Amino acid sequence: MNGLQDWPSHSAELYCERLWLYRRSLRKGWHGLRMVVAGSLGQSILHLWKSVGNVNRMSGAISAYRAAGNSGFTLVELMIAMVVSGLIIGAIYSAYTVQQATYTVQDQVVEMQQNLRAALEQVAREVRMAGLDPFGTAGAGLTLASPGRLSFTLDRTDDTGNGSADGDTNDANEAVDFGFSPADDADNDGIPDSGGAAIFRRQVGGGGYQPLAESIQAVEFNYILADGSSTTAPSLAQYKQVRAVQISMLARARGVDRNFTDTNSYRTASGTVWGPYNDNFRRRLLVVTIQCRNLEME
Ligand SMILES: [Ca+2]
Ligand SMILES: [Ca+2]
Ligand SMILES: [Ca+2]
């Protein structure tokens, strides 16, 4: 008879041993599969190895079976083949999912860093020009300097919006504002009022708030004054003393990483500590110092 056949019953002792090995193999195989599902590749390989050992021990019995003139596959052989291939497929799938998760995390970290750099480069480019006043008549300078918001004017164009400075700050793009939108951070402390992350924005000429960087957990503007001291909340009288601005920006990954808990604390330029958030988001802090040479002219 070809195909599935039962074991010959010429030896009750051999049959019992085979049955025991068969059951044990299935048990080990099933446990191995569970370990694969649980994500333990090392344990899976161990159990796969043990199953292979059982298969080796059975090979003698199987040879005897063949010698008796039987052909085809036994049910036991088929079951073992299924368990072993299941383990191999499980191990491959487990390795694939681990690699996929690592790739996603790296992707998110790279995205966060690019997000931060791009946003801070743009902020730095304009903050460096804060108070630009080539004619000395425009009265350009800081208009709001708070921990989470920085607004200033500069004279960089004329009434047409295309020419060069004309001695005032009432033209296009001459009033700049950086921070979260007032809807996200009404108290201007640089921490979204929702407690989560928000979009860091730029507004010019009283227009709408344009997004600069998504998923920002917190931002801090720290103002360095002419006497070397610094503050995140200068008085109006101190606005003219600001010589540099230090920006600390903390980005949060778009998605969570279930295998990671953010227990880090993030220290800003002023010494304020953000976190630990103890959640599953990865974060990156970037701190830049921008010299405001045009404010020195005041
Ligand atoms: Ca102007
Ligand atoms: Ca003008
Ligand atoms: Ca706030």
Q: What is the pLDDT of residue 5?
A: 47
Q: How many CB atoms lie within 10 A of CB 236?
A: 9
Share of the chain above pLDDT 70, in %: 78
CB 298 within 8 A of CB 280: no
β partners of residue 291:
244
Which ligand minimizes its atom distance to the CA of 179? 3
How far does the centroid of ligand 3 lie from the alpha carbon of residue 109, in Å? 25
Our measurement of the distance from residue 203's CA atom to the centroid of its chain's CA atoms, rounded to an integer in Å, reads 27
The model's confidence at residue 4, banded by pLDDT at 50, 70 and 90, is very low
How long is the chain? 298
Quote the CA–CA distance of 183 and 21 in Å, as a whole number.
Answer: 69
How far does the centroid of ligand 3 lie from the alpha carbon of residue 121, in Å? 24
CB 150 within 8 A of CB 185: no
pLDDT in tens, 138-154: 999 999 999 999 999 99
pLDDT at 125 over 90: yes
Which ligand minimizes its atom distance to the CA of 217? 3
Residue ranges near ligand 2 (ion) with Cβ within 5 Å: 159, 166, 168, 170-171
How far does the centroid of ligand 2 lie from the alpha carbon of residue 162, in Å? 11
How far does the centroid of ligand 3 lie from the alpha carbon of residue 189, in Å? 5
Which position has the higher pLDDT, 18 or 32?
18
Q: Which two tokens stand for residue 251?
A: 């980005």
pLDDT at 10 over 90: no
How far does the centroid of ligand 2 lie from the alpha carbon of residue 123, in Å? 23
Q: Which two tokens stand for residue 115?
A: 């997000």
Place of tokens 């980005």: 251
Summarize the confidence of residues 1-10 as an average pLDDT: 47
User: What mean pLDDT value characterizes the chain?
Assistant: 87
pLDDT in tens, 108-121: 899 999 999 999 99
How far does the centroid of ligand 1 lie from the alpha carbon of residue 78, in Å? 84
Alpha-carbon distances, residue 45 vs 8, 36, 77 (angstroms): 33, 9, 20
pLDDT at 93 over 70: yes
Q: What is the pLDDT of residue 67?
A: 75
How far does the centroid of ligand 1 lie from the alpha carbon of residue 16, in Å? 97
pLDDT at 6 over 70: no
Q: What is the pLDDT of residue 116?
A: 95
CB 39 within 8 A of CB 86: no
Q: What is the pLDDT of residue 63?
A: 75
Which position has the higher pLDDT, 75 or 272?
272
- What is the residue-wise DSSP string for 225-292? ETTS-EESS--GGGGGGEEEEEEEEEEE-SS--TT------EE-TTS-EE----SS--EEEEEEEEE-
Quote the CA–CA distance of 196 and 259 in Å, as a whole number.
Answer: 20
Q: What is the pLDDT of residue 3?
A: 42
How far does the centroid of ligand 3 lie from the alpha carbon of residue 199, in Å? 13
Domain regions of the chain by residue span:
12-101, 128-297
How far does the centroid of ligand 1 lie from the alpha carbon of residue 220, in Å? 29
How far does the centroid of ligand 1 lie from the alpha carbon of residue 40, in Å? 66
How far does the centroid of ligand 1 lie from the alpha carbon of residue 163, in Å? 9
Of 103, 110, 107, 143, give the one whose Cα is nearest residue 127: 143
How far does the centroid of ligand 3 lie from the alpha carbon of residue 163, in Å? 38
pLDDT at 36 over 90: no
How far does the centroid of ligand 3 lie from the alpha carbon of residue 139, in Å? 30
How far does the centroid of ligand 2 lie from the alpha carbon of residue 130, in Å? 17
CB-based contacts of 73, cutoff 8 Å, min separation 6: 3, 4
pLDDT at 213 over 50: yes
pLDDT at 88 over 90: yes
Residue ranges near ligand 3 (ion) with Cβ within 5 Å: 185, 187, 189, 191, 193
How far does the centroid of ligand 3 lie from the alpha carbon of residue 148, in Å? 8
β partners of residue 286:
249
How far does the centroid of ligand 1 lie from the alpha carbon of residue 174, in Å? 7
How far does the centroid of ligand 3 lie from the alpha carbon of residue 205, in Å? 23
- What is the residue-wise DSSP string for the chain? --SSBPPP-S-HHHHHHHHHHHHHHHHHHHHHHHHHHTT-HHHHHHHHHHHHHHHHHHHHHHHHHHHTT--S-BHHHHHHHHHHHHHHHHHHHHHHHHHHHHHHHHHHHHHHHHHHHHHHHHHHHHHTTTT--TTS-S--SEEEE-SSEEEEE-----TTSSS---S-S-STT-EEEEEE-TTT-TT-SSS-TTSS-EEEEEEETT---EEEEEEEEEEEEEEEETTS-EESS--GGGGGGEEEEEEEEEEE-SS--TT------EE-TTS-EE----SS--EEEEEEEEE-GGGGG-
